[in-house]
Chain A
């Protein structure tokens, strides 16, 4: 007869596991220091900075207009949004009025980019959850948007399309028709995605009740964008602090509504992105119908020197609030250029909500925040 095993003998040790910076499901070069007790994570501490390229310092060293290409590299999945946010910020600082058509074009390309960004977010999230097919579907449609952007500015990924005072080129002939064609093609596909994976039992069970964030916590920790709206709080900068022509457009602010599990879990954040694509298609359709004719570039001096002053401008990009805090001393360069991004704040709350989840749920958490590393590291 064996002796009963004492509780002391069953004690398990805590392990420290390193996840990343090279890991297929950390969406880039995120590194997590996991402290685990068996399969349960007791602490996950993000370690950032593996893609810190010093964009803020570069912003101080190059001319105002020259910083535009770097904003593409700030969030490469949504280059147009960052381009336009920076242009809007500088225009607000300098008090430049831009032509009506340029505003509409910017909103059009921003919303198209939001679709293509959410497609990759959705696809790679599903790939992290073990379903590879959605990634291929998502990229199939993203290629179509890339082709549209190639018509506009000749690039697939880093667009450099917006300019201080407007946009670099007018839309090419046939672009609006092609975009309309894309909308007609794409809108039914969202339902197809839902049939394909969204209510798949495995996916639902892996996402529901994981990483629950209450709306109060989300505001306290500074979340923004789909991550905040997933907690059921309707806060969209396009509505809360309207900029450009968004007040003239009709769209809904999508919020999470505890579709399967608890309000504010991974599944709610997932659904917000799916439904936001629908709203973006709606906006794109309105822009196509209502876009006015006219010039696309305001008169801006070649050597651009905004008056001395400070300004904080924020815009809604696919990953939340992209804010630019600009200080000008009246020179050709920015005196200080600070970038506030949504992914960085999402990493802030990560340590709190990852307590007590399984290791495989860590992957679900990273995917549900849709972080992108150049945004966290800059």
Chain B
């Protein structure tokens, strides 16, 4: 067991991917985020999971964030072997939020991605189960977006 700091983890990522990872976001953020372009999220996650010094085997959480002009997808990962943690973040454009799925890396991502799609409307490309999960299938819109307007009624019942 060898616990690495976020900076060391980021150095390893930088060494592997070079310009494939953009920056480390540390200021008033806990745990720090490694910001990566959406296209390379799958390779980064696979490296995080399989590298013997990192071994991030536990996907804690996937959250979508609506920053009004863009979306962010935040992945919190944890290593049960080395007991260190880091966040990975990808920024998506607001008009077409699409990102490759990571459920091929961690199975835990299946439900977390379904939920993020359902409530935030971020599409996970290649997902094995790209359906709504919490809201009914015929619900319109994605409620956690900042510009979501509450509907007047659903199936004739006033909201």
Q: Do chains A and B touch in the complex (CB under 8 A)?
A: yes
A240 within 8 A of B: yes
Q: Which residues of B contact A56 (CB under 8 A)?
A: 119, 144
Asked whether B119 lies within 8 Å of A325 as measured between CB atoms, the reply is no
Asked whether B134 lies within 8 Å of A309 as measured between CB atoms, the reply is no
Asked whether B61 lies within 8 Å of A323 as measured between CB atoms, the reply is yes
Asked whether B133 lies within 8 Å of A48 as measured between CB atoms, the reply is yes
Give the distance in Å from the alpha carbon of A81 to the alpha carbon of B132 in the complex.
29
A247 within 8 A of B: no
Given contacts A219-B80, A233-B80, A338-B63, is CB(A312)–CB(B30) below 8 Å?
A: yes
Q: Name the one of A48, A312, A321, A378 contacting B87, with C-beta atoms under 8 angstroms.
A: A312
Asked whether A311 lies within 8 Å of B108 as measured between CB atoms, the reply is no
Give the distance in Å from the alpha carbon of A115 to the alpha carbon of B132 in the complex.
35
Q: Which residues of B contact A309 (CB under 8 A)?
A: 27-30
A133 within 8 A of B: no
Asked whether A52 lies within 8 Å of B134 as measured between CB atoms, the reply is yes
Q: Which residues of B contact A349 (CB under 8 A)?
A: 107
B16 within 8 A of A: no
Asked whether A222 lies within 8 Å of B59 as measured between CB atoms, the reply is yes
Look across to chain B and name the residue whose beta carbon is closest to the beta carbon of A52: B134
Asked whether B133 lies within 8 Å of A220 as measured between CB atoms, the reply is no
Give the distance in Å from the alpha carbon of A233 to the alpha carbon of B60 in the complex.
16
Within 24-39 of B, Cβ neighbours of A (below 8 Å) are at 27-31, 33
- The SS class assigned to the A binding surface is mixed
Q: Name the one of B27, B66, B80, B110 contacting A348, with C-beta atoms under 8 angstroms.
A: B110
Give the distance in Å from the alpha carbon of A348 to the alpha carbon of B133 in the complex.
11
B47 within 8 A of A: no
Q: Which residues of B contact A348 (CB under 8 A)?
A: 107-108, 110-111
Asked whether A312 lies within 8 Å of B108 as measured between CB atoms, the reply is no
Given contacts A307-B28, A325-B76, is CB(A340)–CB(B61) below 8 Å?
A: yes
A110 within 8 A of B: no
Give the distance in Å from the alpha carbon of A347 to the alpha carbon of B129 in the complex.
14
Give the distance in Å from the alpha carbon of A312 to the alpha carbon of B77 in the complex.
11
Asked whether B58 lies within 8 Å of A222 as measured between CB atoms, the reply is yes
Look across to chain B and name the residue whose beta carbon is closest to the beta carbon of A233: B80
Q: What's the minimum C-beta distance from A53 to chain B, rounded to whole angstroms? A: 10
Q: Name the one of A54, A219, A377 contacting B58, with C-beta atoms under 8 angstroms.
A: A219
Within 182-229 of A, Cβ neighbours of B (below 8 Å) are at 219-222
Look across to chain B and name the residue whose beta carbon is closest to the beta carbon of A341: B61
Give the distance in Å from the alpha carbon of A114 to the alpha carbon of B143 in the complex.
33
A152 within 8 A of B: no
Give the distance in Å from the alpha carbon of A54 to the alpha carbon of B115 in the complex.
12
Q: What's the minimum C-beta distance from A238 to chain B, rounded to whole angstroms? A: 14
Give the distance in Å from the alpha carbon of A241 to the alpha carbon of B83 in the complex.
8
Contact with A along B52-72 (1 / 0, CB 8 A): 000001111101011000000
Q: What's the minimum C-beta distance from B49 to chain A, rounded to whole angstroms? A: 10
Q: Which residues of B contact A221 (CB under 8 A)?
A: 107-108
B17 within 8 A of A: no
Q: Name the one of A235, A325, A345 contacting B111, with C-beta atoms under 8 angstroms.
A: A345
Q: Which residues of B contact A344 (CB under 8 A)?
A: 111, 115
Give the distance in Å from the alpha carbon of A336 to the alpha carbon of B28 in the complex.
15
Asked whether A314 lies within 8 Å of B60 as measured between CB atoms, the reply is yes
Q: Kindly name the residue among B76, B83, B111 whose own CB sees the greatest number of chain A CB atoms within 10 A.
A: B111
Give the distance in Å from the alpha carbon of A321 to the alpha carbon of B60 in the complex.
9
Asked whether A92 lies within 8 Å of B30 as measured between CB atoms, the reply is yes
Q: What's the minimum C-beta distance from B119 to chain A, rounded to whole angstroms? A: 7
Give the distance in Å from the alpha carbon of A113 to the alpha carbon of B63 in the complex.
28
A299 within 8 A of B: no
Within 236-268 of A, Cβ neighbours of B (below 8 Å) are at 240-241
7 A-B pairs whose Cβ atoms sit less than 8 Å apart in the complex: A56-B119, A56-B144, A219-B58, A220-B57, A240-B83, A310-B28, A312-B60
- Please list the residues of chain B having a beta carbon within 8 angstroms of any beta carbon in chain A: 27-31, 33, 57-61, 63, 65-66, 74, 76, 80, 83, 85, 87, 106-108, 110-112, 115, 119, 132-136, 143-144
What would 14 more interface pairs be, CB under 8 Å, given A48-B134, A49-B132, A327-B65?
Answer: A219-B57, A219-B80, A220-B57, A222-B107, A310-B29, A310-B74, A312-B60, A321-B60, A325-B61, A325-B76, A340-B60, A348-B107, A348-B110, A349-B107
- Please list the residues of chain A having a beta carbon within 8 angstroms of any beta carbon in chain B: 48-49, 52, 54, 56-57, 60, 92, 219-222, 233, 235, 240-241, 307-312, 314, 321, 323, 325, 327, 335-336, 338, 340, 344-345, 347-349, 352, 377-378
Q: What 7 pairs between A and B have smallest CB-CB spacing?
A: A222-B108, A309-B28, A49-B134, A338-B63, A348-B111, A52-B134, A340-B61
